[in-house]
Amino acid sequence: MARILIIGGHGKVALRLAPLLAARGDTVTAVVRNAAHRPDVEAAGAQVVVDDVELADADQLENLIAGNDAVVWSAGAGGGDPARTRAVDHDAAIRSMDAAAAAGVTRYVMVSYFGAARDHGVSPDNPFFAYAEAKAAADEHLRHSTLDYTIVAPSSLTLDEPTGRIDARAEASGSVPRADVAAVIAAVLADDTTIGRTIRFNSGDVPIAEAVHG
């Protein structure tokens, strides 16, 4: 059993992750920006902390993270506004990594996306460009941190029913149900062979726990 902090607790993946963790006995705390989201998150099995990580400074984030065993970053600006995308997906994400290290909470799982990389190939005139840039830089910061990280990098997300199986050797992005992404996060938190790795995946034929095991 572990104490898991999910940042971005009202997201579609996070709301599917919390019950998986709670069902296996983990204590789950979810950080949400909007207090109106509390009932949804509590119904998923998580305790709720209302805080805006976009505005929280390093000390506030350290206090928020302290006492947990792992952090899951599942927050995002949602696109549309490049400045806010930078503020959340880059700046706040990196502050949370540094805060986790300062708090001595070394296990950190980042929810990224399949194509995240410095050479992501997204054109600057594409609305997705700001997000691609932010995620690439945040992931790189995490790789160079002292944290025991795993970067979970799913392909295009769907609301299909979960299959419990993925392809973690895929070379091109496809699609994957959000519920299977949640199951991947739960699996990597329980498997130390995933530390220090980026796991890119689509839907596939291999059971999740087997697919992520290094």
Q: In whole angstroms, give the CA distance from residue 125 to residue 111.
A: 25
Residue 77 pLDDT: 75
Residue 121 pLDDT: 78
Global pTM value: 0.95
Asked: is 3-212 a CATH 3.40.50.2000 domain? The reply is no
Residue 90 pLDDT: 95
Show pLDDT as tens, one digit a residue, over the chain (214 residues).
899 999 999 999 999 999 999 999 999 999 999 999 999 999 999 999 999 999 999 999 999 999 999 999 999 877 678 899 999 999 999 999 999 999 999 999 999 999 888 888 788 888 889 989 999 999 999 999 999 999 999 999 999 999 999 999 999 999 999 999 999 999 999 999 999 999 999 999 999 999 999 8
Domain ranges across the chain: 3-212
